[in-house]
Amino acid sequence: MSEPAPHLSAVDQLIESAVDDVGDELIALRRDLHAHPELSWRELRTTALVAARLRKDGWRVTELERSGLVADIGEDGPIVALRADLDALPVPDLTGDPWASTVEGVTHACGHDVHTSALVGAATAISRLHEQGRLPGRVRLLFQPAEEVMPGGALTLIELGALDGVDQLFGLHCDPTLDVGQVGLREGPITGAADHLTVTLTGSGGHTSRPHLTEDLTYALGKVVTELPAILSRRLDPRSGVSVVWGIVRAGSAHNVIPSTGRVGGTVRMLDAIAWSEAEKLVPLLVEQIVAPYGVHAQVDYQRGVPPVVNDLDSIVLLGRAVERVLGPAGHVPTQQSLGGEDFGWYLDRVRGAMGRLGTRTPGGPTYDLHQGNLRVDDRAVGIGAKVLASAATAALASTD
């Protein structure tokens, strides 16, 4: 793991010591959250735990009507915001760890337990800076519900005014392909746009011996599955990296019966916002053209999801310097844009900011994937994330003072 920079400012020394002082508590919190995961918009226990801890540290906490909270500290000056997401996924926990999920079929398979615990640690350090008069402005914490459901809980926080007055915003997301002690950074887009698509076909079914006397819905459904991804790749700019991948294919219940209804569902992802703006109108037209020869009726439910997360240059430079202060020059590494969706993109549509990828893999250990029930993280990532977020926030305030 990278070593911290040897010459830290008084502020960063205080951040370092404050997070180290509560390091064991943060790991215990992360494991507790992992053992008690909550799905989107149901993060009530998680919200209550975080709220109690923040109030103890002097934060002004506003709990949201459903779940989640916003917290502020500092009286005047510019506002820098930090964000963590709270929700888990409807995925069974396969780790077998002592702190494995106690909720059947639900687990933190995307590392939001790490995000939440790291931001609690950053809050502890920032509150200590505030107590000593070393906070040159205001910090706002966004403990956001429902990142895992489109179009994401970020829009709700924005509607409630969580970004009002905010000058800059930072966040971290777990990356199990990076070793703990590394943070992946990238200027510009770091995630993709992501939408949900469901296509339901209906027609007059019949006997498989007489497809010419029916509307062969199953055949038409297969055409949608194979043709839509192919046609979109020719109708949208290939540089947009459009990707249609199906997760649901359902039709029929007997070998010799052509069904009268069927459904496919999946995601439409792309790398840029221009293609994203075009896809919503284009997809229904293409589906109609694909199924027209088979006489079936198509109902297209295209749910617009999230835009790409686009890191601005000044913010990613500032975040990189924070990583260097915590981990040394080798602590940050370049990372590629992914097609994964993140509703952090809604925030960065409105304010400048950056998201980095927080390494969670134990060096020499196995590489896991997000959204899988066997995901394991190296607990040291919690303290690292806390220090990086706190350092980025205080440096951003100092630069805008």
Ordered DSSP codes for 268-323: EEESSHHHHHHHHHHHHHHHHHHHGGGT-EEEEEEEEEEPPPEE-HHHHHHHHHHH
Indicate the Cα dihedral angle 391, 179, 40, 120, nearest 10°: -30
Coil, helix or strand at residue 183: strand
Q: How far does CA 346 lie from the centroid of its chain?
A: 11
Cα–Cα distance between 365 and 367 in angstroms, integer?
7
276: its two tokens: 């994203």
Question: pLDDT tens, position by position, for the chain (401 residues)?
Answer: 655 555 678 999 999 999 999 999 999 999 999 999 999 999 999 999 999 999 999 999 999 999 999 999 998 999 999 999 999 999 999 999 999 999 999 999 999 999 999 999 999 999 999 999 999 999 999 999 999 999 999 999 999 999 999 999 999 999 999 999 999 999 999 999 999 999 999 999 999 999 998 999 999 999 999 999 999 999 999 999 999 999 999 999 999 999 999 999 999 999 988 999 999 999 999 999 999 999 999 999 999 999 999 999 999 999 999 999 999 999 999 999 999 999 999 999 999 999 999 999 999 999 999 999 999 999 999 999 999 999 999 999 998 75
CB within 8 Å of 192: residues ≥ 6 apart: 241, 269, 270, 271, 308, 337, 338, 339, 340, 341
Backbone angles phi, psi at 155, to 5 degrees: -65, -35
For residue 351, CA distances in Å to 81, 171, 267, 309, 390 come to 10, 13, 27, 12, 19
**Cβ distance 142 to 361 under 8 Å?**
no
